[in-house]
Every structure is written in C-alpha cells, then in structure tokens.
Structure 1
Amino acid sequence: MKLKHLFAGLALPLAGLAFAAPASAFCGFYVAKADTDLFNDASKVVLARDGERTVITMASDFRGDVSEFAMVVPVVDIPQREQINVANPALVDHLDAYTAPRLVEYYDEDPCEAERRYEQMREMADMAAPPMAGAMEEADDFGVTIEAEYEVGEYDILILSAEESDGLITWLNRNGYRIPDGAEEIVSAYLKRGMKFFVAKVSLERHDGSAMLRPIQVAYEDEDFMLPIRLGTVNAEGKQELFVFALTREGRVETSNYRTVKLPSDMDVPIYVKDEFADFYKAMFSHQVEKESGKAVFMEYAWDMAWCDPCAAEPLSQSELRELGVMWLEEVSDSPTPRGGFGPAPVDVFVTRLHLRYDAKTFPEDLTFEITGDRENYQGRYVLRHPWRGDYTSCKAAGDYANTLVKRWDEEAISLARLTGWDVNKIRGKMAEGGFSASALKGVEIETPSPQKSWWERLWGNG
C-alpha cells in the first residue's frame, strides 16, 4: 500500500469594488483565478509567524481512500494535546482563493466619443470654467474631498478621502459609480486606516471549497523559521507542488536558502486566454520553473490583508485569521468600532503566497524563511483588453485606434509566447481565428510598421 505524505512542520504550516492606495492601483473586471486546484500533488501550508511563535496549518489535495493517506510532521519537541488542532479546510481554501493569481479584463471605449469628449473639455477650458467645480461642491456636502484626478490608460481615476463611509458611497453613486450593497464595511475599514482611496468595480467569484482532508494545525515556539520538505521526497512519484501562505505583521516573507522570484505579472495576453486561463497558467508556471532550472521559489502574491485590487476573493475576516493562528489579533474583536463605523477594526496582517515545484534533486535542503519587512504590494495579474468594435472610418481617432490595435495584438502574441514557451505563430493563428488581426479591421488602411532595428542601431542611432 502506498502512503502519500505531506512532510512539513516545525523546525524541527467582492462582487463589487475594491479600494487601493494610489501608488498600486490596478482595477479591472475580475475574470478568473489560478488557485491550487490547477495543480496535481499539491500541498498547502499556512504559517502564521510572530517573533518565535508559529502556528502551522497543513493541508493536502489528497482524495480517495483515507487509509492510503499519512501525514508526518517533524517536531523539535513533543507538543501537548492543547497545541494540536484540526482546522476547517474552508479557511485554507479562502486564503488560497484570496491570494490566487488572477485574470482581469478591460473594455476599450469608442475612440470617436473620447475624441468628442476631449474637444468638449478643451472648449470648457477656453471658457475658463473651473473644472469639476460642481462635483467639488457636492463632494464637500458629503464629507468627501477629491484629492487628485488622473488618466491612466483608458481609466479615469479619482483619488478620494472621506470622513465617513456612507457619505463616500452616496457621493460615488450620485456621480455615476455603481457601488454594490454591502460595501460599507470594507470602505469603513479603509477609512479608519487613514487611507486615500479610489473606486474600482470588479466581478468576484468565490471559491466553492474542495474535498481535501481537514488540515492539521500545530502551535509552537522556536527561533528558527523553517519548513522541512526533504522527507516528502522519499517516496514521492515525480515532482511535488507546495504552496506556502505566510502571515506576518511585519511584511513579505521569502526563502533565505533558495532564490525567491516574482512571477512575471501585469502582462497583456490575447482574449482567447479567457477560455484557457487554467492551461495558460500551468504552462506559464512550468516555463518559468524551467527557466530557473527548477531551483527557485516563486512569489505569486504579497499584499496587506486589509484590502485587494482586484479581489479574487474577499479578505479573510479577523476571526478566520485567528483560526489560522494569527495570534497577535487575539485581543481584537470583530465587532464594529466605537466610532460608529460599519466594519471591523483594521487588520494588521501581511500575506505572502509562495509556490514551488520540487524534488530531492532540485530542493535538497529544507526551506528556511526570513521576514523582510517589505510591505510593497505584488500580485500575479494578467490582463485582457477587449477592443472597440465599430466603424473605424467614422472619425480620425477611430482610424488611429485601429492602427494601434494591430501593434497591440502582435505584442500580446509575443508576450504570451515568452510567458509560456508556446509557438508565437500558432498564437497569432488562434488570434486571427477570433478576429484579432489586421484582416479583421475592414475599411481601414493599416500602416505597415517599420522593420525593427537591431539593439546596437537603437543604441547609437547608426544605420
């Protein structure tokens, strides 16, 4: 009888809107996520770490006859019964969904309408009318301040501050932002942190759970922050997938004895990837593993638990985090704050998601970790951009836009090929079948791009 082992342990682990700090705004409509269910032989470990205190939660994707399953946990001491717990698998599933790499999409607007709007703005400026004067006055009435306005790509972004969440949501709804019911709790939590905000509308899918065995938890104290993985390769058939979710109050976690590498992110990919996101992500991850000779630990997510942008799942509640071992929240209540806000107090938890594919040859040592203190946000995020489909001869801006599409589609094909190792010509063929090629832009004279110069010609301007 073959036993499947998870060797890990002690030193022996919103449909609606998201708000973000201005420096890290992404937005976009959430489409899909790449959670751990995409990978076979995947184990998940959650590490809540504070000082020398650690709570490890261990889960496996094992399915089938439970007699064929065994969990082996190396420990530095014999834990007391009170140090061992059985956790709700939905907790790990929620954390997995929240941190999963995600696919988002944007929709291009009518270039002629954008051109008309630009001309109207110019006319208004010529008339010396103060821009946004009415909105500024109305914002003041609701305790909202427009701190800044930006145009980022096809998005108009307002950076806002507010006194109360209900006033902010009322103002946004009155100014054309459709804010869903139930957003007050999240908005209130952000406001209590003194953050400045922008609004992003996203579509959210929640994780349905899985048939995994319930995770085992162990609480312990040790000065070493590490995870034994070597025993897990003893009777393993092929490479194993391991996902580590580290929860700290200081910031990002990375491995100190192996390279920690951020996966390529914020890449535009062809529209057809929407129907093949699982295949895309698995191919992309395998290609990146190969590029690193199989010896790197990949970061898929690093973010403050209090918010997300866009959200692949809602942030975990304080009670969920405490169940996962976040011991520094043990005195914090989930009840509304005394100031009369709509949500819980701010959550001081930073989550890092690490993913490795390993065997005894590529990872001969156990994993050791360090808490960097770096709280810069990162996420695996891949972008679909839907083109405007209209009469490209209806105005000059539409013709110019059509020419940019040809270049954009080619760049998407090249990007996908580099991410996955797929043949770029086959990618272009699939894109053409879906109408994403120059031949699909009827009635438009497409400019032939100039041949790209070699890098040395671009360097010195020769030739």
Structure 2
Amino acid sequence: MPGEEDGGVHIWEENQVGIYQTATLSATDPNSLVGWLNDNGYAFPSNGQEILDYYVQKNWFFVAMKIQPEETTNSSENYSGAIQPLGIMFFSDEMVYPLKISFLSVPSGGTEVLVYAFSDERVTFPGAIEEYNAIITPNQLKGYSILPGLIDETFILTKLRKTFTSEEMGDDLVLFPVPKYITLGSIIDLNSPVEQFILVIGIFIFLLKIKMRNI
C-alpha cells in the first residue's frame, strides 16, 4: 500500500498545487482524522466530526487543502483576494456530489449548488431546476482547457441548479436519469377534488374532440 500511516490516518500523497498544500487521506476512525488535520495545520471545525464519520464509514478518501502564504502575492497568513479553482476527480458507482460535507463551510442561510453533468442521458436530482440540456460533442469543448482531456466522446450535458438550506444538506446529492415517461399520478394529485374535476373536464374535452372527428 503506497503512502504512510500516521496515528491511524493513511497519507496517500502530499502535493503542492498552485498556492495550495494538499494531502490525500483515508482513515478508519474520524477522531484520528480530526486529530491529524488539526496537528498538521488543516483547520477543521469541532462540530464536523460526525460528518467525517459519515464518509469514513463509506470508505471515502479525503483531500485536505491549505493555502501556503509564501505562494501568494501578499505573503500574509490572513490571505484575502481571489483564489484559483481546483478540480477533483474520483471514481464512483453513481453520479454523486458530496453535499453533506459542504455543510461545514456554508452560511446559515444555505448555499446554491450548480451542477454541469456529462452523461449518457439527461439527469436530475430532487428539487433541481434544469436550466439547459443538449448533446455535446468533443469538438465543442476545445475552448475549455480542462474538458477535452476528460470528455472524449459525445455526451448529454445537463445544467442543474438548486439553493439548499442547511437542513437539506444531511446527505450527499445523487443524480439519476430523467424519467422518459411521466405518469399521470406524478403531475396530478388524484386525491384533490379540484384536480379530480380538472381531470374529468380534460377527459370530457378529449372524448368530445374524438366524437367530432368521427361525425
């Protein structure tokens, strides 16, 4: 097994990425992981141990990051200003966004999640607003430096957005295919007298049109 053990935490690799010092970790005990993070300068909130345990039990890996002051233009421990984005890739049996751990860094009012999903079909998640979907070819991605190396065949791109309250962030966000057929029960509440009436009127108009065609 590559890497090394340190107090119950397996350190797979450590890297310098731009202004960041990163460490890829795994652990079998959240207490050990929290201790390692704090001992090595990766500040971790005291209320986050339960959330770490959620991912430890699922055998997830962790990427810890901290800004190296000497790599910034102002060389200050209290860094302020724009930071460079990072991309993290990992294998998974399902399309998942680690929403639960994001709870540790969101304001009390919640946070907005914007997802661009490349897949074989349109995807969604509960409560998502679909803003865009289209078939995308590799040639259309040449202007985006990071994507051509990741997307080498034709996919469907789905753009989804939702604002989550902190109470809605108790689990990760799993994307699933958009149903190809929508059942009647999913768009009409058959227990509602009003919608029952609307349904009856709709059926009556439909039958009336058929009858008029046959006259």
Q: Which has the higher contact order (CA 8 A, sep 6+)?
A: 1
TM range (shorter): 0.3 to 0.5
- Taking structure 2 as the reference length, what is the TM-score of the superposition? 0.41
